[in-house]
Amino acid sequence: MTAEQKPVAPRRSAARRLLKDPQALITGGLLLVIVVLGVFAPLLSGHGANDSSLDAVNAGAGTPGYPLGGDHSGRDIWARLLYSIRTSAVSAVVATTVALLVGVTFGLVGGYFSRRIRGITEWVFSLVMTFPGILLLIVLMPVTKGDVRVTMAIFGVLLSPSIYRLVRNLVVGVRNELYVDAARVSGLPVRRILRRHVLVVVRGPIIIATAFLMGSAIGVQAGLAFLGVGSSTVPSFGSMISDGFRNLYVDPWQFAWPALLLGFITASLVLLGNALRDALEGSRPKPVKIAAGPRQEPEAGESTGDLLTVRDLAIAYPTPSGELREVVSGVSLTVAASETVGVAGESGSGKTQTAFAVLGLLPAEAVVTKGSIRLHGRELLGLGERELRRVRGHSIAYVPQEPMSNLDPSFTVGAQLVEGVQASCGISRREAKERVLALLARVGIQDPERTFGCYPHEISGGMAQRVLIAGAVASEPELLIADEPTTALDVTVQAEILDLLRDLQRESGMAVLLVTHNFGVVADICDRVVVMRQGAVVETDTTLNVFRGPAHPYTRTLLESILDGSTVRTDPPVAATAGREQ
């Protein structure tokens, strides 16, 4: 099992999550009771919805045979409420079914097929959206003849653009995924691809939208009945509210009962929709609040007097089904002042995620489920963005993997560096410029003045990396995190950049945390190495010890793969020097 496949949260189905959610239980239970009342209306009431009796005109609650009293026409309020539930349920089912059928079908077609088809469907649904909904239903009254089902079917069509857009956007997002391409290449028919790969993605959002569609269909049906649009013989909360409103001073309960029940139903549907969203899409768990606990003892192979201490760090990402997938599992490492520590491992082993967690640069969807990251004993996890920015600007600096993509093509190199130096050092623009020119010279740029005025596309990859290193060390950080700083460069430049990093590290005494997949780079400049695999640390030791006798078979495999001559050096690497000194 790879790190990517490792689920951190126990696998819980959406149904089980729903059953554990009190909001879902209460609203779902309430709606179920209401539906049951509607279904058994004939059994639960002694009268039909439209049966009237002179004796029951404005009868009070508790009148024999009329538990909630009678309305101004002598009809049983309890019976009318029960039959109104049926009308609401039919409205909700008809409108939602039509909206889903039309919206999902055209959403799949518009999202999956060519731009031309998407253009046509887009145009049609935009047109539908321009129709004034309720007004149209009133105007069409002579056609629908007040039939609730026909009216709600038309309303379903008017609701369908929202479903169309939801599905289309999801499908557009998914159709370019590599697994969909793979399915196409393997010859799967379009129908099967849509069902197997695409519908799975849109299923959750559709279920959630259904709850909201039902709520709005019930509300609109009641609104139309309140306005008197529709058959007067069809019991409805809207017509009951309208009648009760006219009789408000005689008996306010004639108004209150249907209003309350309608309110309960629509509110329950909205709240149930929210609970469904949490269950199906997964509410984002909050990162664990890390308490400033006692300092932990270093583990074997770790140095003392640490500048940076990462303890038991776990990072996870929510999957579409809502569960968390762990990509870093219980990583611990330390970096002492002035030490260079390599984090090595294969692609996807969690090196960058660990480094980004230290920098506080994990993507918004990442969840730190446990652990601690301390700089000089100060917990970094849980710090606000402002405090983190201060830490990043002063104590920790970063050198990225792709120098070119980290420079803005719209600004000159100098302008970008000056801005950063000013922000982190709090000096004037003139001082910042002088500092930048000195730094450019220090990182080995031949003509700092010229490079200062260049745009990123006018300099080479190696120069761009030097520029970024200059920017990173400008604030004299205590810790420099370099994420594969040489990977994007050619072999000769790689060696020069490593030389530069080592020289800067020795001069300034800063610590370096170097993320790399290349053990040649580790041998070159690292004092210690942390070997990662599948999101976990498999071995931590001094570079010398690891090269002399790797403890873990995975480390041995990595070591065997370094003899590719990719790092050309003129001076002896750390491992060799240390070996001679021993």
Site for ligand ATP contains 347 (CB under 6 A): yes
| Least distance to ligand ATP, CB of residue 152, Å | 42
Candidate list 349, 494, 555, 567; residue touching ligand ATP; CB under 6 A: 349
| Least distance to ligand ATP, CB of residue 326, Å | 9
Identify which range of 91-99, 287-295, 349-357, 376-384 contacts ligand ATP by CB under 6 A: 349-357
| Least distance to ligand ATP, CB of residue 352, Å | 3
3-state secondary structure of 492: helix
CA angle 72, 75, 77 (to 5 degrees): 95
Query: H or E element: which one contains 42?
Result: helix 41-44
Candidate list 133, 146, 287, 348; residue touching ligand ATP; CB under 6 A: 348
Candidate list 165, 311, 392, 517; residue touching ligand ATP; CB under 6 A: 517
Is the backbone of residue 371 left (phi > 0), alpha (psi -120 to 50) or beta? Answer: left
| Least distance to ligand ATP, CB of residue 30, Å | 37
The pair of three-digit structure tokens given for residue 133, joined into one six-digit string: 């909904």
Site for ligand ATP contains 177 (CB under 6 A): no
Minimal CA–CA distance to 241: which of 214, 215, 219?
A: 219
Query: H or E element: which one contains 153?
Result: helix 148-175
One-letter amino acid at 115 equals R
What is the 3-class SS of 279-336, one letter each residue? Answer: HHHHCCCCCCCCCCCCCCCCCCCCCCCEEEEEEEEEEEEECCCCCEEEEEEEEEEEEE
Candidate list 345, 400, 462, 573; residue touching ligand ATP; CB under 6 A: 345
Site for ligand ATP contains 4 (CB under 6 A): yes
Residue nearest to ligand ATP as judged by C-beta position: 352
DSSP states of 535-574 as a string? TEEEEEEEHHHHHH--SSHHHHHHHHTTTT--S--SS--H
| Least distance to ligand ATP, CB of residue 512, Å | 17
Looking at the Cβ atoms of 345 and 573, the one nearer to ligand ATP is 345
Site for ligand ATP contains 555 (CB under 6 A): no
Looking at the Cβ atoms of 42 and 330, the one nearer to ligand ATP is 330
| Least distance to ligand ATP, CB of residue 534, Å | 9
Site for ligand ATP contains 262 (CB under 6 A): no
Looking at the Cβ atoms of 3 and 522, the one nearer to ligand ATP is 3
Binding-site size for ligand ATP (CB under 6 A) equals 14
One-letter amino acid at 552 equals H
Span 294-323, contacts to ligand ATP by CB under 6 A: 317
The pair of three-digit structure tokens given for residue 444, joined into one six-digit string: 């080995």
Looking at the Cβ atoms of 142 and 363, the one nearer to ligand ATP is 363
One-letter amino acid at 190 equals V
Candidate list 210, 332, 353, 465; residue touching ligand ATP; CB under 6 A: 353
Query: H or E element: which one contains 24?
Result: helix 22-39
Span 82-141, contacts to ligand ATP by CB under 6 A: none
Site for ligand ATP contains 363 (CB under 6 A): yes
Are 140 and 154 within 8 A, CB to CB? yes
Site for ligand ATP contains 327 (CB under 6 A): yes
Percent composition of the chain: helix, strand, coil (DSSP 3-state, to 5) = 55, 15, 30
Site for ligand ATP contains 219 (CB under 6 A): no
| Least distance to ligand ATP, CB of residue 546, Å | 18
**Which residues, 6 or more positions from 286, have their beta carbon under 8 angstroms from its beta carbon?**
none
Nearest-angstrom CA–CA distance, 1 and 6 = 7
Identify which range of 96-104, 194-202, 340-348, 430-438 contacts ligand ATP by CB under 6 A: 340-348
- The residue written with tokens 């745009």 in the block is 455
Interface residues with ligand ATP (CB under 6 A) are 3-4, 317, 327, 345, 347-353, 363, 517
